[in-house]
Amino acid sequence: MSKQVVVITGAGSGLGASLAHRYSELGFHVCLIGRTESKLVETAQKLPNNSYSIHPLDVSSKEEVTKVFQKIKNEVGAINVLVNNAGTGVFDLAENLPEDAVHNMIDINLKGTIFCTQEVLADMKERNDGTIVNVISTAGLEGKVTESVYCASKFGARGFTESLHVELKDTNIHVIGAYMGGMKTEFWNGIYDESETEGLMHPDDVADIIMENVKPRRNLNVDQVVIKNH
Asked about 179 being catalytic, the answer comes back as no
Q: Active-site residue among 23, 150, 179, 192?
A: 150
Q: Give the tens place of pLDDT for each residue, 115-156.
A: 999 999 999 999 999 999 999 999 999 999 999 999 999 999
What distance in Å separates the CA atoms of residue 75 and residue 62, rounded to the nearest whole number? 20
Is the pLDDT at 80 greater than 80? The verdict is: yes
Please compute the mean of the pLDDT values over residues 32-46 and round it to a whole number.
Answer: 96
pLDDT interval class at 164 (50, 70, 90): very high
The pLDDT value recorded for residue 126 is 97
Please check whether residue 137 is in contact with residue 200, taking contact to mean a CB–CB distance below 8 angstroms. no
The pLDDT value recorded for residue 195 is 52
- Percent residues over pLDDT 70 in the chain: 90
The pLDDT value recorded for residue 216 is 77
Q: Give the tens place of pLDDT for each residue, 2-11.
A: 689 999 999 9
The dihedrals phi and psi of 136, each to the nearest 5 degrees, come to -110, -40
Please compute the mean of the pLDDT values over residues 158-187 and round it to a whole number.
Answer: 87
The DSSP bridge partners found for residue 201 are: 183
The pLDDT value recorded for residue 1 is 46
Assign residue 13 a region (left: φ > 0; alpha: ψ between -120 and 50; beta: otherwise).
Answer: beta
Which CATH number does the domain housing residue 114 bear? 3.40.50.720
The range of the structural domain enclosing residue 23 comes to 5-227
The pLDDT value recorded for residue 230 is 64
Mean pLDDT of the chain: 90
Q: Which amino acid is at 1?
A: M
- CA-based nearest residue to 7, from 113, 96, 104: 113
